[in-house]
Copies of this chain bind each other. A is one copy, B any other.
């Protein structure tokens, strides 16, 4: 474990390692199951992280049955099929494009907030942006639970959406394998952009 002191970070070093520095995307998993109780614990931790006007558009579909798993694998790109088939749990992270129906309850301070989203394109854009924030929180939550996440963007989105969200109300954002990392789980860490390439001042 990396335990280099960082005077500007209040979070303890073990937590920095668990969530960021020692965490890696996993590409292979052990057979150890991931329970609904673990997912509930993750959700109940990360649900507090912010979205615009508390929109909370993320929806999670745990793909548990052999039949549903087989359908999902068929929508994954070739490089993602085997690892998805072999993961103890795979979740589809999607957004509810009708999230605005919940705003009177989730954001009562603006009773008319729902009216900002009468047009579907505006709703879709906001759901995608805020759902992606929540997907990121969820990935961090998986790591907080001592599990490894294998998020994937490589799938046939149109096919997956038609198959799993036939009502047209939901749109997939990402698919994520969840479990304990297995043999060969980790690839070498890719280079990250340097601070000066990312952060500028005006």
| Residue A189 CB within 8 A of the other chain | yes
| Smallest beta-carbon distance A16→chain B, Å | 6
A65–B25 CA distance with the chains assembled, in angstroms:
39
**B40 close to A199 (CB less than 8 A):** yes
**B21 close to A45 (CB less than 8 A):** yes
Copies assembled: 2
| Residue A11 CB within 8 A of the other chain | yes
Return chain B residues, CB-CB under 8 Å to A63: 201-202
| Residue A146 CB within 8 A of the other chain | yes
Please give the residue numbers on chain A whose beta carbons come within 8 Å of chain B beta carbons, in ascending order: 6-12, 14-16, 18-21, 23, 25, 35-50, 52-54, 56, 58-65, 68, 102, 105-109, 126, 128-130, 132-137, 139-140, 143-146, 149, 151-154, 164, 173, 187, 189-193, 195, 198-202
* Between-chain CB contacts (< 8 Å), 19 pairs: A8-B35, A9-B41, A10-B18, A11-B145, A15-B15, A15-B144, A23-B48, A39-B199, A43-B199, A47-B192, A50-B151, A61-B202, A64-B202, A102-B193, A128-B129, A133-B135, A136-B136, A137-B140, A164-B202
